[in-house]
């Protein structure tokens, strides 16, 4: 009469609610990591050239360099992209190697908090110089 | 053996003795092809660069502070340990940069066959060596 049994959904409602699977945002992490990676390609090149250019220069040269709107904006973009990318990457590493759920979540949150804090410190420093 | 999954891991060897079946090969067993080494190195350099952001943060904070604070940071970076850290950081950054581009190319669906894996892998290694040295030669010449 009826066909062979089949399963429409392989994941329990609890599994979905816990955030371990896709709750319509499954590819967001992956996509954000690629976007920040793409952004960091030119920004990293620019930063390396800038650091070479600035090597051995005195404090006021660095301040002058950061005080143009273009440099300041690029630096802010670099900081945001770097720490976002770092936090996403570290999360993947932690999730792969830390198996105990509480420790894993604690470590991910700690790293994320640290990244946000470091990014803010960098942003405030750069703005203080450049504005 | 209460658990069927455990029981499946038990077998008799050629002498008829009960032994645990070996697990599937792991990194101690495999030889290290370039693809595997670079995959591990991509992660390792990523984590190392994360630690390296502390140096970047210190430098920016110092630059936002007094001349003394900036000079202290510059002094540390110019010291033997500082230069060693900076060299390691440059190498890690350049490697992660090229290796990351390799990953982005894969994401676009290009270069998945084994020979391409190997070629692009060695390409990353060579590009990292050349560009790291280039950055330092030019950097020291300017300095």
pTM for the structure as a whole: 0.81
Q: Which residues of A touch B103 (CB under 8 A)?
A: 37
Q: Is residue B26 part of a domain?
A: no
Report the range of poorest mean pLDDT among A41-45, A69-73, B139-143: B139-143
Residue of B42, B1, B31 whose CA lies nearest to B18: B1
Q: What is the mean pLDDT of residues A19-25?
A: 59
In chain A, alpha helices (H): 13-17, 28-54, 59-66, 69-97, 101-130
| Residue that the structure tokens 């110089």 belong to | A129
Q: Is residue B53 part of a domain?
A: yes
Which of B93, B97, B104 lies nearest to residue A38, judging by beta carbons?
B104
Q: Is residue B14 part of a domain?
A: no
CA-to-CA dists, residue B143 to A46, B31, B62, angstroms: 18, 43, 20
Residue B57, min C-alpha distance to chain A (Å) = 6
* Residues facing residue B19 across a β-bridge: B11
Q: What is the mean pLDDT of residues A45-74?
A: 92
Stretches where chain B sits below pLDDT 70 are: 1-7, 25-28
Q: Is residue B16 part of a domain?
A: no
Domain of residue B95, residue span: 34-142
pLDDT at A28: 87
Q: Is residue B8 part of a domain?
A: no
List, in order of start, the domains of chain A with CATH numbers.
27-130 (1.20.1300.10)
CA-to-CA dists, residue B73 to A67, A120, B2, B41, B57, angstroms: 20, 19, 62, 29, 11
What is the number of structural domains in chain B? 1
Q: What is the DSSP string of B68-110?
A: HHHHHHHHHHHSHHHHHHHHHHHHHHHHHHHHHHHHHHHHTT-
Which of B46, B63, B138 lies nearest to residue A125, judging by beta carbons?
B63
Residue B1, min C-alpha distance to chain A (Å) = 24
Output the domain CATH number for residue B83: 1.20.1300.10
pLDDT at A5: 61
pLDDT at B127: 96
Q: Cβ contact (<8 Å) for B64 and A122?
A: no
Q: Cβ contact (<8 Å) for B63 and A82?
A: no
Q: Is residue B58 part of a domain?
A: yes
Contact between A121 and B59 under an 8 Å Cβ cutoff? The reply is no
Q: Is residue B11 part of a domain?
A: no
Q: Cβ contact (<8 Å) for B43 and A118?
A: no
């Amino acid at each position: 009469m009826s066909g062979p049994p089949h399963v429409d959904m392989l994941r329990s409602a609890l599994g979905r609610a816990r955030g371990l699977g896709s709750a319509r945002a499954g590819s967001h992490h992956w996509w954000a990591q690629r976007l920040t990676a793409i952004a960091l390609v030119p920004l990293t090149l620019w930063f390396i050239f800038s650091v070479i250019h600035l090597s051995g220069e005195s404090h006021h040269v660095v301040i002058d360099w950061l005080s143009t709107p273009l440099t300041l904006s690029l630096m802010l973009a670099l900081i945001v992209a770097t720490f976002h990318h770092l936090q996403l990457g570290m999360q993947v590493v932690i999730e792969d190697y830390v198996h105990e759920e509480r420790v894993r979540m604690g470590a991910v949150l700690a790293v994320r908090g640290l990244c946000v804090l470091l990014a803010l410190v960098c942003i405030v420093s750069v703005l203080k110089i450049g504005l | 053996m209460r658990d069927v999954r455990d029981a499946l891991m038990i077998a008799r060897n050629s002498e008829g003795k009960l032994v645990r079946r070996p697990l599937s090969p792991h990194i101690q067993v495999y030889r290290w092809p370039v693809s595997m080494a670079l995959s591990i190195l991509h992660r390792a350099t990523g984590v190392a660069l994360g630690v390296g952001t502390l140096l970047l943060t210190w430098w920016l904070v110092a630059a936002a502070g007094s001349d003394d604070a900036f000079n202290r940071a510059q002094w540390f970076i110019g010291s033997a340990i500082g230069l060693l850290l900076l060299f390691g950081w440059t190498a890690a950054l350049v490697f992660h940069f090229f290796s990351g581009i390799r990953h982005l190319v894969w994401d676009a669906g290009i270069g998945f066959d084994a020979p391409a894996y190997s070629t692009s892998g060695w390409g990353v290694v060579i590009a990292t060596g050349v560009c790291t040295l280039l950055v330092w030669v030019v950097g020291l010449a300017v300095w």
